[in-house]
Chains A and B, each alone.
Chain A
């Protein structure tokens, strides 16, 4: 009979591991990417600062007439320009690092170096342009704001301490060594750098301002970073959800395809016997065999046999569908005593075995143990395996059935000395409608659904059916299911 070798595989899908779909959600930049883009922006901002320093020196010297030393100031401005050029290339190198964690660490170091370098240059610029007299000491605050945005709170406070230390050093140098101080004549009356109280107040005020600036900005930055982290987590959850949905869609599509394929196979399996019945009966009705009564009767009997086979096939298809039903009907039925079911199956097969002079034996060792299957499901699973063993064992052979307990599992095994299954056909063993070539030679009729049904039942309880087979030597099938009750209760 027709037996499409490419028909669908048995039971629920055991799909290969899914591949992640292409990104449906735009990925968020990582923390490293965000920091690098900010320090790069900082580098670009510094070009404006360079221009500003040059412009300020020019205005101070030539427009305002302040007696600031052009040489050192222009050298410092050039140093600022040179350092920013280095920072520019450093930022580009950072971008090329592939390891995100390493990139983040190096970006933090980069940000610290930039800010530290700016603080030193700002201090030197202030020293050569009036020191504590220069109102641009307020520019330290900008660096604290930037540090709080780019760096952690700890690093920001360290930068604040560095700024305060540098300013204090500059103020002390001016106080202790007046020759080093550049007095801005005309800006302030007298050289306040020699006024200890003024110097102390200025340093204290700047220090408090720097630390308050770091505190306030860090607090806000911390909240922003927390929000960023929440956003990143929400994004990751969305991405996982999208991936999961895409995967489920793909599985649903695959299930739909398998169902369509299964329906085509079932339709073919039903149509073939119907076509044969039609052909046989048409001969009788059209009078082709009106002169051959015996052959006429043979045609009718053939039609009848095929009709019976169709009924058996439809019955097994309904069994398969019922066992696949997602509604766990067995929750309403009591767990079966597996030994009782096996004994019942062996009793049913005994007459068939006797007729073929097959030695059918049973060694049942589970006793009162119960399994989560209903009696009906256990009967279907065990019945299919034992009936196959008897059917495909030649006369004079042996079929040995046994049950036993291993740990928390109940085991069942049927071992025959039958025709065996060709090795190259074993992979299709549990495929719906599959029948081995040598099985078809012995028994032309057969639905090919018995093993698929047995496997479907066993898998529902987390088990699997193992087998060994050799052509000409026989086949062994065994499965295990968990034990739910070790004893007591009424026998089934």
Chain B
């Protein structure tokens, strides 16, 4: 029997966290949550999730970005796929496309807010159950 995959949600909006958690648990994932970047980073080290869903803006405008860099900088978490929740038209001052040669955000994919459950599940599946 396949091991149950664990998803870590890092977002300071409790309603978004709860709604996302319902969708993921319904799809058979175990869900852990954290309300800010630092707590999310610590929890990632503790539970070693199969995927991290990370919001861009929490206590500060760029907290998600800083957390993603921290996760990528730690050997224990650097290979964990990260989905970043952001608004498409959000201007963060950094390039968001990994295709850009210069600075870019070290995440694997983006999920637009408000989160569409089907879109979320498709992306989560693609990163946790690679073909």
**Residue A306 is within 8 A (CB to CB) of chain B in the complex:** yes
- Is B59 a contact of A279 with CB atoms below 8 Å? no
A-B contact pairs, 25 of them (CB 8 A): A1-B12, A2-B12, A2-B58, A4-B61, A5-B59, A5-B60, A6-B60, A6-B61, A268-B87, A271-B113, A276-B19, A276-B114, A277-B15, A279-B19, A280-B18, A280-B19, A282-B116, A282-B117, A283-B22, A288-B22, A295-B22, A299-B19, A302-B15, A302-B18, A303-B15
Question: Contacts A283-B22, A288-B26, A295-B22 hold; do A276 and B13 have CB atoms under 8 A apart?
Answer: yes
Q: How many residues of A contact B (CB 8 A)?
A: 29
Q: B14: CB under 8 A from chain A?
A: yes
**A275/B59 contact (C-beta < 8 A), A283-B22, A286-B117 known:** no
Q: Please name all residues of chain A whose beta carbon is closer than 8 Å to the beta carbon of B16 when the two chains form the complex.
A: 275-276, 279
Q: How far is the CB of A14 from the nearest CB of chain B, in Å?
A: 22
Determine if B114 and A279 form an interchain contact, defined as CB atoms under 8 angstroms apart: yes
B58 to chain A: closest residue by CB = A2
User: Do the beta carbons of B60 and A282 come within 8 Å of each other?
Assistant: no
Contact indicator per residue, chain A 260-300, by CB within 8 Å of chain B (1) or not (0): 00000000100110111111101100101100000100110
Q: Which residues of B contact A271 (CB under 8 A)?
A: 87, 113
* Smallest CB gap from B90: residue in A: A268
> Bound state CA distance, A101 and B93, in angstroms?
53
On whether the beta carbons of B61 and A280 are closer than 8 Å, the reply is no
With beta carbons under 8 angstroms apart, the residue of B26, B61, B113 that contacts A275 is B113
Say whether B20 faces chain A, with CB atoms less than 8 Å apart. yes
Residues of B within 8 Å of A6, CB to CB, are: 60-61
Residues of B within 8 A of A298 (CB): 18
| B105 touches A (CB below 8 Å) | no
Flag whether A23 is at the interface (Cβ < 8 A). Answer: no
Chain B residues with a Cβ under 8 A of chain A: 12-16, 18-20, 22-23, 26, 57-61, 87, 113-117
| B116 proximity list for chain A (CB < 8 A) | 282
Chain B residue numbers with a CB within 8 Å of A268 are: 57, 87
**A288 lies within 8 A of B23 (CB):** yes
- In-complex Cβ contact of A288 among B87, B114, B117 (8 A): B117
A3 on the B face (CB < 8 A): yes
Determine the residue in chain A with the shortest Cβ distance to B118: A286
Q: How far is the CB of B96 from the nearest CB of chain A, in Å?
A: 16
Q: In the complex, A276→B115 CA distance in Å?
A: 9
In whole angstroms, what is the CA distance A289 to B21 when docked?
Answer: 12
Q: How far is the CA of A268 from the CA of B87 in the complex (A)?
A: 9
Q: Are A274 and B114 in contact (CB under 8 A)?
A: yes
Task: Find out whether the CB atom of B15 lies under 8 angstroms from the CB atom of A279.
Answer: yes
A282 cross-chain contacts in B, Cβ below 8 A: 19, 114, 116-117
Write the nearest CB–CB distance from B20 to chain A, whole angstroms: 7
Q: Are A283 and B117 in contact (CB under 8 A)?
A: yes
CA distance A6 to B115 in the complex (A): 26
Nearest B residue (CB) for A279: B19
A310 to chain B, nearest CB (A): 12
B61 near A1: Cβ-Cβ < 8 Å? no
CB <8 Å contact, A289 and B22: yes
Of chain A, the residue at the smallest CB distance from B113 is A275
Cross-chain contact A5 with B22 (CB below 8 angstroms)? no
The answer to whether A444 has its CB under 8 Å from any CB of chain B is: yes
Contacts of A12 in B (CB 8 A): none
Q: A2-B58, A279-B16 are in contact. List 13 more A-B contacts (CB 8 A).
A: A1-B13, A2-B57, A3-B59, A3-B60, A272-B13, A275-B16, A275-B113, A276-B16, A279-B20, A283-B22, A283-B117, A302-B15, A303-B15
A9 to chain B, nearest CB (A): 15
Contacts A271-B87, A275-B113 given; does A444 touch B22 at CB 8 Å: no
C-alpha spacing A444/B23, complex, angstroms:
24
The docked-state distance in angstroms from the alpha carbon of A303 to that of B15 is 8
Are the CB atoms of A4 and B57 closer together than 8 Å? yes
